[in-house]
Amino acid sequence: MRLEESKKINQSLSALGNVIAALTDTRTRNHIPYRDSKLTRLLEDSLGGNCKTTMIALISPSNEAFGESLSTVKFANRAKYIRNAPTINEDVDKKTLLRKYENEVKKLREELENKNKSILEMQMLLEMDN
């Protein structure tokens, strides 16, 4: 029974390592293998989604655990290069959207008015030169 558990844990940790490798790859990310294990599926939003995430790596001072501690440090080193761009989720009602769009229309009208003024000024300068 413990052997099967150990296999599953190692398989999930391996899948997590693959996801982190894919997320930290400097080339374009075509596919991130989140579906390879339940662990990576659960951590999908935390690793590459819309979350701020803190990862803590625990190591042992014991000589017997040196190999595992070294592996943990290497894993944490790769994980620190994951970059997310979290944004605040907002529930936007109709009034807020309307206000936002009215402000945008106002800004665009001002921009258009400024462009028209500059065109008129250019035309007046051209007429003066002729």
Tell me: the pLDDT tens digits for 64-116? 999 999 999 998 998 888 887 777 777 778 888 899 899 999 999 999 999 99
Full-model pTM: 0.58
Residue 25 has pLDDT above 70, yes or no: yes
Question: Mean of the per-residue pLDDT values for the chain?
Answer: 87
Q: What is the pLDDT of residue 29?
A: 66
How many Cα atoms within 13 Å fall on the side-chain side of residue 9? 6
Residues 15/33, Cβ–Cβ less than 8 Å:
yes
Q: What is the pLDDT of residue 102?
A: 95
| Whole-number percent of the chain with pLDDT over 90 | 34
> Distance from CA of residue 105 to its chain's centroid?
30
Residue 48 pLDDT level (bands cut at 50, 70, 90):
confident
pLDDT of residue 126: 86
User: What's the confidence (pLDDT) of residue 94?
Assistant: 86
Cα–Cα distance measured from residue 2 to residue 51, given in angstroms and rounded to the nearest whole number: 34
Residue 123 buriedness (CB in 10 A; 0-12 / 13-18 / 19+)? exposed
